[in-house]
Chains A and B, each alone.
Chain A
Amino acid sequence: MTFLQLNDLKVHFPTDDGLVKSVDGLSFQLERGKTLGIVGESGSGKSVTSLSILGLHKGGRAKISGEIWLDGEELVTASQEHVRSLRGKKMAMIFQDPLSAMHPYYTVGDQIIEAYRIHNDVPKKVAKKHAIDMLGRVGIPQPDRRVDSYPHEFSGGMRQRAMIAMALSCDPELLIADEPTTALDVTVQAQILDLMRDLQRDFNAALIIITHDLGVVAELSDDILVMYGGKCIEYGSADDIFERPEHPYTWGLLGSMPRLDREVTERLLPIKGSPPSLINVPSGCAFHPRCAFEPRTGGKGSTLVPDLVETEGGHLVRCHLSREERRDIWATEIKPKLES
């Protein structure tokens, strides 16, 4: 049985302006020890997806449908209390900005101790020793002293390490990292990514990395899921996505990625336009207003919602262009520009 499986997950928020379809029919699978990168612009639904897996939208205004299977248990219909008992223990999360994600009034140690003692009935002393161990494991120097520091006394990278220590304190089997390096300096980003790779190997957890930065997923992911307007528009192995991408939006993401090996005089190839409104989603393919190849679909782009179709061996694409057209455009128009 698959460790984590999402079937047609929908997360809709009723608002005064209309129904916001943050996630609209998302399905994927993830095994233990594997890493899935979820990529997309702000508002594409990637964070809402992760919060839904953790059950943090339960009991709120969100309307959730579909299925989330975690290790044989269905979570969408499970009770709030049951999902709470899994949170932190079976599945844990690392957030984007560790300064705002940690409570400013409690020491880093207290916050890790709290996370540990929710799920482990141990005296505070034992939990503190565990917290010091965890801080040491994530590479914080002098953990026995830093355990009593407050978050604001840590640097950004140290805070993110502490956040990771907190998330890993109960040895979770599923770890979700939401933009784990976005708030950090570039040099620190690489260290944190290395750390996460090492820890994942040690803990053999399933890892979901959510980011808008293809460079981050390139480092870590086995599989990559590209989201747009609440839907998956391309899914495949890291090789598929970087070597043989087939969706115009994915091409756009690759073109917008700054690379050091490129000539300085060259410009990035940004995606024109802005992310779609999730209330008035464009008709047909949600990406069609920004798609340079929309004219080649013969009008289908603006009228029909394309299906997510397997193009070959587990590589899924949601696009009206035919497989041959896409491969042709990639080989002759896009790839040469990216490589020149």
Chain B
Amino acid sequence: MVTYIIRRLIGALAMLFIVSAVTFSIFFVVPRLAGVTPDDIANRYVGRAATAETVTAVAEKLGLHDPVVVQYGRWVKGVFVGAEYDYGTGVEQCPAPCLGYSFVTKQPVWPDLVDRLPVTLSLAAGASVIWLVIGVSVGVLSALKRRSIFDRGAMIIALAGVSLPPFFTGLVALSLLSYGLGITAPGGAYTPLTENPGLWAYNLILPWLTLAFLNAAAYARLTRAGMLDTMGEDYIRTARAKGLKESKVIGKHGLRAALTPIVTIFGLDVGILVGGAILTENAFSLQGLGKYATTAIAANDLPKIMGFTMLAAFFIVVANLIVDLLYAVVDPRVRLS
């Protein structure tokens, strides 16, 4: 088990390294191949009035003429020890972990990300609990009451849930519940959990439900399929042959096995979500990581996009790692191989 954990940890680190290298290449090598010169990049930082000589000097100072490997090395170094950026008007500090420095807002990227993180975390945590509970219970009931009215109804709603994008369901929910009935928050507001838990939940309930609807639907279908599979297994027959009560056959023997793939998907989904629920955050004007990313992309602010991508990748890799470890806990056969 210890070797298994160590192997997974090393794998996770290697994965982060590869993701950062690939992301860096996409943002800084591909444009160059397409004909963008270091001076073009520097030009975006110094403003329109600068002369060609100034631009070149700035590009030189920022190391944009260096080989990409050197630039990447400098970026990695920044993550661990921080970096300094000098583009003519003075030296800007970017303390560790420096994921980049936005020349548009003249801000290091990291503190911005940290600012946005609680919003996205709150959104992801609430929504994931809701969709897991609803999705799995509906899926189990559907499988057990196969072909009943409940099953058919649930699966039709699930199909709608999977098909409808959150910017649609979110807006419908907003206009019905917030602006129509006035029972939920109108969106755009966020209160930290530590300040006022009630208000925190009140402001987030609609985004939670919107996001949960999308995923609960997928989970219901997944759980249903998994349960139908598992309940046909020989070991379920064995459990019944022992004289076990049906509720325990389902809960202890059926669900345990059917949940294994759900655990995997759940971990990854939460990982992806923590990296920013782009559509939902935009629909409800929540200032989370997803909204940060869309803003950065709209402004073509490369360091911000790069920083956001790395943070999102970090969450996914961590989620993957947790899933791998959980898998070994859930399924004893994984521990050996």
Contacts and interface: CB of A to CB of B under 8 A. Distances in A.
A97 interface: yes
A210 interface: no
A87 B242 contact: yes
Given A97-B234, A152-B333, A104 B243 contact: no
A56 B237 contact: yes
Interface string B227-259: 000000111011111111110000001001100
Contact of B241 (A85, A92, A100): A92
Interface in B252-275: 253, 256-257
Given A97-B234, A150-B332, A103 B253 contact: yes
Interface residues of A, number: 28
Given A95-B234, A152-B333, A103 B239 contact: yes
A137 B332 CA distance: 26
Given A54-B241, A92-B241, A118-B244, A104 B331 contact: yes
B173 interface: no
Interface residues of B, number: 21
A89 interface: yes
A337 interface: no
B242 A95 contact: no
B226 to A, nearest CB: 14
B235 A85 contact: no
A62 to B, nearest CB: 14
Contacts of B238: 95, 101-103, 166
B241 A88 contact: yes
B62 interface: no
A95 B257 CA distance: 20
A87 to B, nearest CB: 4
Given A100-B234, A101-B234, A101-B235, A88 B243 contact: yes
Interface of A: 51, 54, 56, 84-89, 92-93, 95, 97, 100-105, 107, 114-115, 118-119, 150, 152-153, 166
A103 B257 contact: yes
A182 to B, nearest CB: 13
B241 A87 contact: yes
A89 B244 CA distance: 11
22 contacts: A56-B237, A56-B241, A84-B245, A87-B243, A88-B244, A92-B241, A93-B241, A95-B234, A95-B238, A95-B241, A97-B234, A100-B235, A101-B237, A103-B238, A103-B257, A104-B332, A105-B256, A105-B331, A118-B242, A118-B243, A153-B336, A166-B238
Interface of B: 233-235, 237-246, 253, 256-257, 330-333, 336
B330 to A, nearest CB: 7
A231 to B, nearest CB: 25
Contacts of A115: 242-243
A180 to B, nearest CB: 13
Counting from the closest, the 6 A-B pairs by CB-CB distance are A88-B243, A87-B243, A100-B234, A88-B242, A103-B235, A115-B242
B235 A104 contact: yes
Contacts of A166: 238, 242
A104 B237 contact: no
Contacts of B333: 104, 150, 152
A320 to B, nearest CB: 38
B94 to A, nearest CB: 49
A114 B332 contact: no
B242 A105 contact: no
A88 B239 CA distance: 9
Given A150-B332, A152-B333, A102 B240 contact: no
A101 B245 CA distance: 18
B302 to A, nearest CB: 48
A83 B330 CA distance: 32
Given A95-B234, A150-B332, A105 B257 contact: yes
A84 B243 contact: yes
B147 to A, nearest CB: 11
Most interface-central of A84, A85, A119, A166 (chain B CB within 10 A)? A84
Given A95-B234, A95-B237, A152-B333, A104 B242 contact: no
Given A105-B330, A105-B332, A152-B333, A119 B234 contact: no
A114 B244 contact: yes
B91 to A, nearest CB: 59
A84 B247 CA distance: 12
Contact of A119 (B235, B237, B243, B330): B243
Nearest to B333: A152
Contacts of A150: 332-333
Interface centre among A84, A86, A103, A166 (most CB of B within 10 A): A103
A95 B246 CA distance: 19
Contacts of B241: 54, 56, 87-88, 92-93, 95
